[in-house]
Amino acid sequence: MSKLDEKKKKKREALFTAAFHLFNTKGIRQTSISDIAQEASVAKGTFYLYFKDKFDLRDKLIAEKASQILMQAADETRLDINRMDNKSLEDEIIELVDVILDRMEREPQLLRFITKNLSWGAFRHISIEDGERESMPFYDGYHRMIANSGRKIKNPDLMLFMIVELVSGCCYQVILHGQPVSLADLKGPLYQAIRGIIRDQEEAGEAGVENKKIRVAG
């Protein structure tokens, strides 16, 4: 990478960092491009060399942040989509959720920012990028994980969708407002509900065996 490219990358980073901070502090609406440029120590005109407008920046920022979170969570849970070891599908998913919830509790602004801006449509296209290896959409990883579990799920998309909506909806309220229960108190019932959704989505005849393994995490 040439020096010029490095410099450009730094400017981009600076704009990202500044925007993230300001979006969380003042809200997107109240944040002007001027503000972002100033906090990034960059001229206003320079902003337009990197992003089309505020919302372009926001979208790119969300994609990056969401990708980071999923990647890190996958790393932390040593998620290996190729081997299922002895962990059940339920445990795998719940562990992932658990890591993410803990991260969100430590960084509520991240939560606020992503939840307010990430749609399901965008979610399906998040890539887990890695400087060295190729990038792979998270969504594909999810499907391989199910395939490798040997389980028969009626509609994996719908299952993921319901889990995502349930988790994201609940954690936003609980982490940011402590309502109606604490995160610690939410986890048990929430994970149980996730197990319920998975069980419901399992093709008849296979469920019985798995359910024996149920173990509530968190």
Partner DNA sequence: CATGAATGAGAATTCATTCAT
Partner DNA sequence: AATGAATGAATTCTCATTCAT
Q: Which residues lie across from 160 on neighbouring strands?
A: none
State the binding partner of 178 from DNA, a second copy, none, CB within 5 to 8 A by kind: none
Span near DNA by CB under 7 A; candidates 39-47, 125-133, 154-162, 204-212? 39-47
With contact defined as beta carbons under 8 Å apart, do 90 and 194 qualify? yes
Binding flags for DNA, 2-21, as an x/- string (CB under 7 A) = -xx--xx--x----------
**188 belongs to the binding site for a second copy (CB under 8 A):** yes
**200 belongs to the binding site for a second copy (CB under 8 A):** yes
For 151-165, b where at least 16 C-beta lie within 10 A, e where not — what string? bebeebeebbebbee
State the binding partner of 193 from a second copy, DNA, none, CB within 5 to 8 A by kind: a second copy
**31 belongs to the binding site for a second copy (CB under 8 A):** no
Comparing CB distances to DNA, the nearer of 43 and 184 is 43
The binder of a second copy chosen from 45, 121, 131, 205 (CB under 8 A):
121
The binder of DNA chosen from 25, 30, 135, 192 (CB under 7 A):
30
What is the spatial distance between Cα 128 and Cα 100, in angstroms, rounded to a whole number?
15
The binder of a second copy chosen from 27, 150, 180, 208 (CB under 8 A):
180
Residue 21's contacts (CB-CB under 8 Å, 6 or more residues apart) are 39
**49 belongs to the binding site for DNA (CB under 7 A):** yes
Q: Which two tokens stand for residue 59?
A: 């979208």
What is the spatial distance between Cα 110 and Cα 215, in angstroms, rounded to a whole number?
29
**120 belongs to the binding site for a second copy (CB under 8 A):** yes
Q: Which residues bind a second copy (CB under 8 A)?
A: 29, 90-91, 94-95, 97-98, 101, 119-121, 155, 157-159, 161-162, 164-166, 168-170, 173, 177, 179-181, 185-193, 195-197, 199-201, 214-218
Q: Which residues bind DNA (CB under 7 A)?
A: 3-4, 7-8, 11, 30, 32-34, 42-50, 53-54
